[in-house]
Structure 1
């Protein structure tokens, strides 16, 4: 399929997920804990099911990696990666800073990504070789002349183990730490693509947490990498950096390495 066709399909997936999520918003969500203690709701499952039904009809040969219902056709050269609600904790608390994440991987590398916030009606779309859009208009990251001026965001301290927390705090100490933002999950990456913040650093993410973010951030002029500065792909371990100004990447890697 052409990229235009894939983008159109990704929009339909996001529309279907949003339609499944909105009826549960600030209502009875059936909150449960999964085996790994992470939360899941009826909305998570309904949204992923809606997206999978579309893919079964329109892209039956493509692989699927989904947070709630597992993998299909592993080894396919084209794979859709679905996180129906990234930020279930925020969703359950009635905070509209969660999002649906949709990615297309080709041979393990993200080439298309969508961040959709279905309550506020906000959608970022990134695709390889194309500028990232926010609700159809092109967006750009902002320059950052010095790491000490960088506004850093992360989902929460509870997601870092003791070792990674020390490295993260070494980075935080060299950023604009008094302006640091906690919370936001995928929403932070959309804000970075739109030039609102400068840096996101996370630990322990799964493929469905980060795959969609890469084309969005990079299509807006930013860069994403692991904590060693290597490109993200299906086998990446989930230590993730998103940076609005690629010129600061070496500074970020050096700061992370200062942790013990």
Structure 2
């Protein structure tokens, strides 16, 4: 793969995110009926039409790449180039008229995440990044904060339900006590804030790789560290997140590793 191919792939991902945004904004204004999937999560016509719009742009952009989407599953093989698509991450928020939802598009090459686009259409925010190309927020380059002292750190949590029954719950409590302040922005929002210097640590459980793949590239290219709660790199099976500035991530990981 040459640089021109990667540039074309990033452009396609950004174009696909904008196409999805048009669909999502339309149904945000008009309202939608809600269905419940077999896993007890909601889905709407906005989810499905947004993914169709994304696939229509991504498929011809990289003809040899597989596409794994939230609503229509896997088309192709996971071994080489693989698009990871969540057309409407945060459907529960969408149907309750809470604007914490986004479109997530990432590209994985032989198991490594190489680019990501995160679009929050109601907020008017789009972030994108590619390996070696930095992180961009609405056209301006951004970086994580230089925070290195936990006492000065701002942290955010999301989807921590499973941690309440885990020994790491006590560690999370300690991190909260020792930090400067705690928020629970959730979804795309706290990763966008982390990548542009507004937060220093994000902890989540109960996630899916489609939710976080693009955001991982965005945080890393902004100078941050993005792993699971054990400090392991992301895979298709990843279910948790520890993301932060390098120093704060390292401190949090050392404390979690004692569990």
TM-score norm. by structure 1 comes to 0.90
Q: How does 1:174-253 map to 2 (within 5 A)?
A: 174-176=178-180, 179-235=181-237, 237-243=238-244, 245-253=245-253
Give the Cα separation in 2 of the matches to 1:173 and 1:212: 30
Structure 1 residues 168 and 33, CA, compared in 2 at 3 Å: closer, same or farther?
Answer: farther
- Residues 42, 166 of structure 1: CA spacing in aligned structure 2 closer, same or farther, 3 A cutoff? farther
Query: 1:223-253: CA deviations, max 9, x gaps?
Result: 1011222222334x3221110x202222101
Shift of 1:146: 1.3
Q: Is the 8 A contact 1:170 1:255 kept in 2?
A: no
1:66, distance to aligned residue in structure 2 (A)? 0.9
Alignment of 1:1-260 (within 5 A): 2-158=5-161, 160=163, 162-163=165-166, 165-176=169-180, 179-235=181-237, 237-243=238-244, 245-257=245-257
Kept in 2: contact 1:26–1:92 (CA 8 A): no
Q: 1:47 to 1:167 in 2, by over 3 A?
A: farther
Q: Could you tell me how far 1:120 is from its partner in structure 2?
A: 2.4
SS at match of 1:25: helix
Number of residues of Structure 1 aligned to a counterpart in Structure 2: 255
Bigger shift: residues 10-19 or 70-79 = 70-79
What SS class does the counterpart of residue 95 from structure 1 fall into?
coil
C-alpha distance in structure 1 between counterparts of 2:88 and 2:169, whole Å: 25
Please give the alpha-carbon distance, in whole angstroms, between the structure 2 residues aligned to 1:241 and 1:41: 30
Q: Which moved more, 1:220-229 or 1:150-159?
A: 150-159
- 1:55-84: CA deviation from partner (whole Å, max 9, x where unpaired): 233333211111111111123410000011
1:110 and 1:233 in contact (8 A); partners too: no
Task: Check conservation: 2:201, 2:249, Cα contact below 8 A.
Answer: no
Contact 1:26 1:94 in 2 (8 A): no
Shift of 1:175: 2.5
Which ranges of structure 1 fall in alignment gaps of 5 or more residues? none
CA RMSD for the aligned pairs? 1.9
Distance 1:199 1:61 in 2: 37
Q: Which runs of 5+ in 2 are unaligned?
A: none
